[in-house]
Amino acid sequence: MADAALGSGWVVGGTWLRRRSVLAGLAIVTLFLVLALATPLLTSQDPTAIDAVRRLEGPSIEHPLGTDHLGRDLLSRLLYGSRWSLGTVAIATALIMSIGVAIGLLAGYFGGIVDEILMRVVDVLLALPSLLLALAIAGTLGPGIRNVMLALVSVWWATYARVVRGLVLALRERRFVEAARSLGARDRHIIVRHILRNVVPPVVVLATVEMGELILAIAGLDFLGLGAQPPTPEWGAMLNDGRPFLFTAPQLMIYPGLAISLLVIGFNLLGDGLRDALDPRDRARKE
Amino acid sequence: MRHGTTGMRIGHTSPRLLVRYLALALLAACGGRRDRGEDSATLRIAAPGDGYNTGPGSDVGIYAVNANVFETLVRLTSDYRVEPMLATRWEFRPPNSWRFHLRQGVRMHDGSAFDARAVEWTVRRIAKTDPRVLGVGDSSARVIDDSTVDITPTRPNRRLPEQLVHPNWSIVALGSDPAINAVGTGPFKLGEYVKGDHITVERFTDYWGAKAKLDRLIFRFVPDANTRALALRSGEARVAYDVPRADARELERTPGLTVTQSPVGSYEALYVNIHGRPPYDRGGDSSIRRAIAYGIDKRAIVESVWRGTAEPGQTLMPASMLGESASLVFGTEFDPGRSKGLLDDAGWRVGADGVRVKQGRRLSLTLVAGFPNAEIHKPMPEIVQAQLRVVGIEIRIVQVADAASYQARIRTGEGDLWAEAGGQNDANPCFLPDLLFYGGGPSIQRSAYARLFGPGPHFDLAIDTCRSALDLENVRKAAAAAMHILTDQDLVVIPLAGTRRVWGLSDRIAGFAPHPSSLNQRWETVWIR
């Protein structure tokens, strides 16, 4: 059974939960998740409603964080922005994982020419700076959040494919896989029932670690005007909109900047904790 | 050429700029203003991005940052008149020639004398690389004697002297090329050009006119307007081109800084795609175009976006260029009731979400922002979006990063409304309508703009009249007639505002007179107190 437990330590005993940083990360991510889900309950303001008369106002009961350069409520834009940020990163991560895992499984399990071709593609992608490549693709495809996600997905999957391939190469030689094969199980059955289930946990950890980077990438491309288009309340775009007011109304940059930083820190803490908990050397030391 | 003459790349954002922006922000926020080891003879200027072409037809030191290395035969005054420069006088010689009498005693930067052969060489360069606007050919220039030259365009062109004020037609020394050996006649000569970083020019002591007061100008290329303002705040620059309009008032309140504005010389406008293919074909319906024009509150946009740095406009060129004929251009006033009525009459009914629908098709339009980049228009598109929503028109905003992306999109025609900011950089009142919307003429291939926006033969006729008129009043009338077609009759163009160039300066700068066309900005009178 030890073979089958290659990636299952992440849930054993819940020791990682005791790590304060993981708890902090989990709390931050959960907070943003709750805020995103409960946004319509938390604010009645339309995040896109312009009121030129009330531009750049300070905090008030009606606008707890004040208004932006077009008189729009900052709090509602931040809250709706959390939906955009978490939504886009969730969709992008799901797509990246799907593609990366599928390609990693195929390359690792079948090997040979399939492995050669797929891994050379991965090598090419990993040899180039991910964000710059995504920037180039998004710039070519044209502005829009869909194109930004497409650009990121088309670049980011390579890391997952490489990691999954490595895991599969180790798994396919294990006794439980050989046993399944000797019992006449088909490749698809072995991949889905025996290999995939052992690959998923580390991939989830990888995704958690990478989410922070992905959020930054999405916010960065939005900042550059390639992602969400006006008047969408997206944090990266809000940062860019606030630049002319750096000295007169710094809150226009501070609030979305803080939101991005906090969420990224949350995912990083959570991911680091999960990775540490899964690290066999670390576990061995503790045992 | 189109973008080489009507605007500048301002505010384009890139990752490298972001780093620079953050560094300057930190410097400005923490350290306040510092003069960075500058003496009073060297002026550091935060200029727009390096748009210099170093290939064929190179324009280093000329466009988009005119470093005053080169000069034209005639120059543009700040009220858009033509006055002598390297030519002291000129006259029309029928059927289609212009004779220029050149200034004598002018030295080029290499010590040689400026004469008619330099003009001939320059016209040949233009004929090889950019002949369309002037309509010149390889043999258009004919040297009469050392100080007299005839220029004969290959097609009738009565606007030649008014066009020649544009720095693109600057005189370069015989056999020279601005990208290789920049030899001009200007008050400054080229010191150093580092692509993408800066251009340094130094006082030319043998200049024919009043000598420059400063020894050296360093134009550092800073494409982003916010970063230019930060460079000014941090003391990295003492002059900043086109600071953000939203930041102008705050800059003015900053100790040691001041803001100065030029007269109106630029414009902000929306062009309507009237020849689009589905789904970008709704601009072809004149009732929709009218509804858009009446649905936009220009005054509110000017007040909330440009805040004292612009005025509501009805034309592309400064109205003063049209003289009394300006009254022939009416423009449209904000009238949402009329806008709604037009759409009702055309069968567009208000849908459940407030957006109008006709035969199952939503009245949803794509606004592309725009030329020269999306940043410069912000937040105008969002305000237009909100205003048109009130009358039942949905606007989807698409921001494009730079002029190249915008041009690519123009070529594919993917958009209904196109936001552009341009400028009048010569003294020809027909320059902009001609350049952008003229679709006629046997020898001229229809431009991508004319394919989307060109009103057709009735407009082309007005431009032809403008091109062939000799008398200034007739030129103005023809230009006004062309604008009338664009903005009143066919509503292809919805001018939003006439805008001023906004400069940020250290309060130690003296002698600076902002020109409405920043391409024609002069620097020899500037000094540091």
Mutate to test the interface with B, among A46, A55, A243, A260 (most CBs of B within 10 A): A243
In chain B, which residues have their Cβ closer than 8 Å to the Cβ of A50?
382-383, 386
Contact B246 A245 (CB under 8 A): yes
For residues B403 and B372, the answer to whether their CB atoms sit within 8 Å is yes
Rounded CA separation B388/B343 (Å): 12
What is the average pLDDT value for chain B, to the nearest integer? 91
pTM: 0.86
Structure tokens at B268: 């902000």
- The shortest C-alpha distance from A153 to chain B (Å) reads 20
Those residues whose C-beta lies under 8 Å from the C-beta of residue B141, and which sit 6 or more positions away, are: B119, B120, B122, B123, B124, B149, B150, B151
- Is 80 exceeded by the pLDDT of residue A8? no
- The shortest C-alpha distance from B380 to chain A (Å) reads 10
Positive or negative torsion for Cα B185, B188, B189, B193: negative
How far is Cα of residue A192 from the mean position of the Cα atoms in its chain?
24
pLDDT digits 0-9 by tens, A132-168: 999 999 988 989 999 999 999 999 999 999 999 999 9
pLDDT digits 0-9 by tens, B227-239: 999 999 999 999 9
CA angle B341, B347, B352 (to 5 degrees): 90
Please compute the mean of the pLDDT values over residues B90-119 and round it to a whole number. Answer: 97
Please compute the mean of the pLDDT values over residues B336-361 and round it to a whole number. Answer: 97
CA angle B126, B479, B407 (to 5 degrees): 55
Is A248's Cβ below 8 Å from some Cβ in B? Answer: yes
- Is 60 exceeded by the pLDDT of residue B2? no
> What pLDDT score was predicted for residue B247?
84
pLDDT digits 0-9 by tens, A259-275: 999 999 999 999 888 88
Of A50, A139, A241, the CB nearest to B401: A139
- Is 60 exceeded by the pLDDT of residue A2? no
Helices (H), B272-375: 286-295, 298-301, 336-345
Rounded CA separation A88/A151 (Å): 12
Rounded CA separation B332/B104 (Å): 50
In chain B, which residues have their Cβ closer than 8 Å to the Cβ of A231?
382, 385-386, 397
- Is 70 exceeded by the pLDDT of residue B22? no
pLDDT band at B27 (very low <50, low <70, confident <90, very high): low
A197 vs B481: which has the higher pLDDT: B481
Label residue B347 exposed, middle or buried (CB < 10 Å: 0-12, 13-18, 19+).
exposed
pLDDT band at B436 (very low <50, low <70, confident <90, very high): very high
**Closest C-alpha among B99, B100, B64 to residue B85:** B100
Contact B13 A223 (CB under 8 A): yes
> What pLDDT score was predicted for residue B250?
87
For residues B363 and B282, the answer to whether their CB atoms sit within 8 Å is yes
> What pLDDT score was predicted for residue A261?
97
H/E segment holding residue A89: helix A74-110
- Is 70 exceeded by the pLDDT of residue A12? no
- The shortest C-alpha distance from A259 to chain B (Å) reads 18
**How far apart, in Å, do the first and last CA atoms of chain B sit?**
39
Residues of B with CB under 8 A from a CB of A: 13-15, 18, 21, 25, 28-29, 225-226, 229-230, 233, 244, 246-247, 250, 300, 303-304, 374-375, 378-379, 381-383, 385-386, 396-401, 405, 409
**Closest C-alpha among B237, B43, B18, B206 to residue B113:** B206
Rounded CA separation B271/B427 (Å): 23
pLDDT digits 0-9 by tens, B38-85: 578 999 999 999 999 999 999 999 999 999 999 999 999 999 999 999
% of chain B surpassing 90 pLDDT: 83
Rounded CA separation B251/A246 (Å): 11
Torsion of CA B161, B164, B166, B169, to 10 degrees: 180
Is A140's Cβ below 8 Å from some Cβ in B? Answer: no
- Is 70 exceeded by the pLDDT of residue B34? no
- Is 80 exceeded by the pLDDT of residue B402? yes
Contact B250 A229 (CB under 8 A): no
Is A144's Cβ below 8 Å from some Cβ in B? Answer: yes
Q: Using the 8-state DSSP alphabet, how is residue B54 labeled?
A: -
pLDDT digits 0-9 by tens, A91-134: 999 999 999 999 999 999 999 999 999 999 999 999 999 999 99
> What pLDDT score was predicted for residue B9?
32
**Segment among B199-208, B301-310, B475-484 with least mean pLDDT:** B301-310
Name the percent of chain A in helix, strand, coil, to the closest 5.
75, 0, 25
Contact A231 B405 (CB under 8 A): no
Rounded CA separation B417/B271 (Å): 6
Those residues whose C-beta lies under 8 Å from the C-beta of residue A196, and which sit 6 or more positions away, are: A101, A105
Rounded CA separation B503/B10 (Å): 13
> What pLDDT score was predicted for residue B3?
38
**Closest C-alpha among B288, B276, B293 to residue B453:** B276
Long-range contacts of B210-213 (CB under 8 A, 24+ apart): B210/B524, B210/B525, B211/B187, B211/B524, B212/B68, B212/B187, B212/B188, B212/B523, B212/B524, B213/B511, B213/B524, B213/B525, B213/B526, B213/B527
pLDDT band at B13 (very low <50, low <70, confident <90, very high): very low
> What pLDDT score was predicted for residue A46?
95
Please compute the mean of the pLDDT values over residues B134-151 and round it to a whole number. Answer: 97
Contact A230 B226 (CB under 8 A): no
- Is 90 exceeded by the pLDDT of residue B212? yes
pLDDT band at B280 (very low <50, low <70, confident <90, very high): very high
Structure tokens at B170: 């600057």
Positive or negative torsion for Cα B166, B168, B173, B174: negative
pLDDT band at A19 (very low <50, low <70, confident <90, very high): confident
In chain B, which residues have their Cβ closer than 8 Å to the Cβ of A139?
401, 405
In chain A, which residues have their Cβ closer than 8 Å to the Cβ of B307?
none
pLDDT digits 0-9 by tens, A215-231: 999 999 999 999 999 99
Rounded CA separation B165/B322 (Å): 18
Q: Judge if the upstream peptide bond of residue A231 is cis by omega within 30 degrees of 0.
A: yes
Order of strands, sheet of B87-93, starting from the edge strand that comes earlier in the sequence: B87-93, B97-102, B148-151, B141-145
DSSP string, B256-287: TEEEEEEEEEEEEEEEE-SSPPTTS-GGG-HH
Rounded CA separation B73/B68 (Å): 14
Taking CB atoms and an 8 Å cut-off, how many pairs form between chains A and B?
A: 80
> What pLDDT score was predicted for residue B24?
59
Contact B14 A224 (CB under 8 A): yes
For chain A positions 200-229, those within 8 Å of chain B (CB to CB) are 220, 223-226, 229
- Is 60 exceeded by the pLDDT of residue A287? no
In chain A, which residues have their Cβ closer than 8 Å to the Cβ of B21?
243
What is the average pLDDT value for chain A, to the nearest integer? 89
How far is Cα of residue B452 from the mean position of the Cα atoms in its chain?
20
Please compute the mean of the pLDDT values over residues B116-134 and round it to a whole number. Answer: 95
> What pLDDT score was predicted for residue A248?
87
Say how many CA atoms lie within 13 Å of B232 toward its Cβ. Answer: 34
Please compute the mean of the pLDDT values over residues B405-426 and round it to a whole number. Answer: 95
Those residues whose C-beta lies under 8 Å from the C-beta of residue B59, and which sit 6 or more positions away, are: B4, B52, B53, B168, B178
Between the alpha carbon of residue B496 and those of residues B216, B423, B452, B493, the distances in Å are 39, 14, 20, 9
Q: Residue B37 CB: number of other CB atoms within 10 A?
A: 7
Burial B412-434, CB ≥16 within 10 A → b, else e: ebbbbbbbbbbbbbbbbbbbbbb
